[in-house]
Amino acid sequence: MRMAVVGAGVSGSYLGHMLHKMGHGVEIFEASSKENQWAVCAWGASRNMLSMFSKRAGLNFDNYIFHVGKTLRMDLPNQVREYLNLSGLVTYDKQKWEHDLLRDLNVTYGFKCTKENFQFDAYDYVIDCTGMHRTLLPRSNEDFIIPAYEYLLENIHGVDEFYVIGYKGARGYFWFFPLDDNRAYVGAGDMDKKYVGVQEFLMAHSEARIVKKIGRPIRLSPPRRMEPFHIGNVIGVGESIGCVFPMLGEGIIPSLICCDIFLQVLELTKGSMFNFKQYRKNVLKKFDYYDDVYRIVRLKMENKLNMVRHLRLMMSMYRNMKKEESRFGFEVNLEKMTRIVKSL
């Protein structure tokens, strides 16, 4: 089949690579120029899952790992501090991973696709992997995004573990993610755009050199609130249809899982029309509990979360995360989770 993949981020690069491997004719379109394209993200995700996706794509994930985390320190409102044991959370060279996947593919850089300028009828299917932009799909009335930005820093000393500061009302958080050679990402997502912790970090680490300032909002609304997933011959995959874990704004693994759902449905409908209905059903099923997590976040933001009244939501988040513990790469512990949610 002739496929166009629009957007060469994590979904677009992985999906493009896998479609090419399966023998489809694939063209990729990316808005940024090749020199300026940057994997906007803090590059943190679960090694367990990325090893699996890498293997499928013929890459050895160990070659991309920067930092293997042991603990995550969380500073929460009212001087509460928690430590989570890590079991696979790493930072990795996301930029290189994506570029390596794209190496043998036909990529047109510097082309910002729009509904008006794109030649939809030249392809059997056009995959919208534009992430937060969702350029080729209709807007959703329930879309919800959180502003975020970060610095890529070098010459960082004295901090060598994952560290976050959770903001009151789950309105966002500050992160410190260590990379290699004294490099790190420091940034924040914050509904109130105060980004507490970022300037404080820079002041406390005057030796740090800013290499890059990067930013874009992150989508928190889950798939159930990001329909439609397709229109005409356009199909959304990844963050464009809400595949982001709402409590953390974590989208690498959810986007890759979404790519796999797309590929499975495509394989099942080999030779005939893509089964849009099946794709929708499978995506909604896989990310069903993200809607409960999203409701917890929104209730917290509105100061309406009640641990008794909303016990079902809390238990749904806990049970589902526990089932997928290795996919997150950190311990999922009911007591800690309750304390964290309460103190936010």
Ligand X SMILES: Cc1cc2nc3c(=O)[nH]c(=O)nc-3n(C[C@H](O)[C@H](O)[C@H](O)COP(=O)(O)OP(=O)(O)OC[C@H]3O[C@@H](n4cnc5c(N)ncnc54)[C@H](O)[C@@H]3O)c2cc1C
- Per CB under 6 A, does 250 bind ligand X? yes
- Per CB under 6 A, does 252 bind ligand X? yes
* Smaller CB separation from ligand X, 153 or 252: 252
Residue 4: phi and psi, rounded to 5, are -110, 135
d(CA 123, CA 126): 7
- Per CB under 6 A, does 256 bind ligand X? no
- Per CB under 6 A, does 10 bind ligand X? yes
19, 20, 29, 107: residue in contact with ligand X (rule CB under 6 A) = 29
Beta bridge pairs of residue 250: 245
6, 107, 261, 301: residue in contact with ligand X (rule CB under 6 A) = 6
* Smaller CB separation from ligand X, 110 or 334: 110
74, 102, 244, 261: residue in contact with ligand X (rule CB under 6 A) = 244
| Cβ 328 vs Cβ 321: under 8 Å | yes
Could you write out the DSSP letters of every residue in 141-186? TT--EE-EEEEEEES--S--SEEEEEPGGG-EEEEEEE-STT-EEE
Binders in 42-81 for ligand X, by CB under 6 A: 42-45
Task: Report how far apart, in Å, the C-alpha atoms of 333 and of each of 72, 111, 165, 300 are.
Answer: 14, 45, 19, 20
- Per CB under 6 A, does 266 bind ligand X? no
d(CA 188, CA 339): 22
Q: Which stretch binds ligand X (CB under 6 A): 5-13, 55-63, 165-173, 263-271?
A: 5-13
Beta bridge pairs of residue 75: 81, 165
Binding mask 106-145 for ligand X (x = CB under 6 A): ------xx---------------xxxxx-x----------
218-219/145-146 β-pairing: antiparallel
- Per CB under 6 A, does 188 bind ligand X? no
Binders in 203-222 for ligand X, by CB under 6 A: 216, 218
Task: Report how far apart, in Å, the C-alpha atoms of 45 and of each of 37, 50, 86, 248, 249 are.
Answer: 20, 8, 11, 11, 12
- What residues line the site for ligand X (CB under 6 A)? 6-12, 29-32, 40-45, 112-113, 129-133, 135, 148, 150, 187, 216, 218, 238-240, 244, 249-252, 255
